[in-house]
Amino acid sequence: MNKHMNHLIAPSVLSADFANLQRDVEMINSSEADWFHVDVMDGVFVPNISFGFPVVEAIKKHAAKPLDVHLMIVNPDQYIERFVAAGANSITVHYEACTHLNKTIQAIHNAGVRASVALNPHTPVELLTDIIVELDMVLIMSVNPGFGGQTFIKNTLSKVSRLRAMAQISNPDLLIEVDGGVALHNTAALSSAGVNVFVAGNSIFAAESPAQMISAMKNLASSAIQSI
């Protein structure tokens, strides 16, 4: 898995134009992007509400690439099968929202999709030591989830490096995803630290040419030399 999935760009549809959603989905389809990143927020786990099953289904209807669904919600277990039915190809749950994380990961795998765990900025990667072998991906939040327009938290690079070192021991194929404040200026540094999947919203959709921005980010990520 490592080689052909080395550097993936996952535009965040939360930053798309919802009055022209099909147009933006088709732009991502025809770009060099690899996944659609879909943020589901419930107004409880994070102080924001985004969208639910109907919008995920609408994106899936037009998407030619996998849906990477990030559940920023409490009690994610009760919705796993419904999000898979709506079109999710991977599901990310928050470490902070899951009391029985092994059970949740098993449920995601049983539903037939990639299983991922997200960590908020204050949550150390070392808490994943006992479960990292079960995971397909870890999402490191580089801003506090639920608040838009925040600056990238610099400690993220250290967290990614530590996580990549942990993965080398017990799960070398682990994908590391970063979300929040990801842009051209930090793509190479993140890639060098060990990031595989780059979630970007505003930096892509606010660009003059979103497709060119996706291409530029992908090139930067691929040309950076990993430190491990």
**Catalytically active residues, by annotation:** 39, 179
Name the helix (H) or strand (E) containing 190: helix 184-193
Structure tokens, 205: 């959709």
**Please, are residues 72 and 45 in contact by the beta-carbon 8 Å criterion?**
yes
- Return all residues near 162 (Cβ < 8 A) that are at least 6 apart: 125, 126
Strands 197-200 and 175-179: parallel
**Please, are residues 121 and 95 in contact by the beta-carbon 8 Å criterion?**
no
CA distance 214 to 212: 5
Q: Is 19 helix (H, G, I), strand (E, B) or coil?
A: helix
Query: How many other CB atoms are found less than 10 A from the CB of residue 50?
Result: 18
Beta-sheet strand order (sheet of 36-41): 8-11, 197-200, 175-179, 137-141, 114-119, 90-94, 67-72, 36-41
**Please, are residues 136 and 113 in contact by the beta-carbon 8 Å criterion?**
no
Residue the block writes with tokens 């030619």: 64
Least Cα distance to 53 among 74, 75, 80, 34 occurs for 80
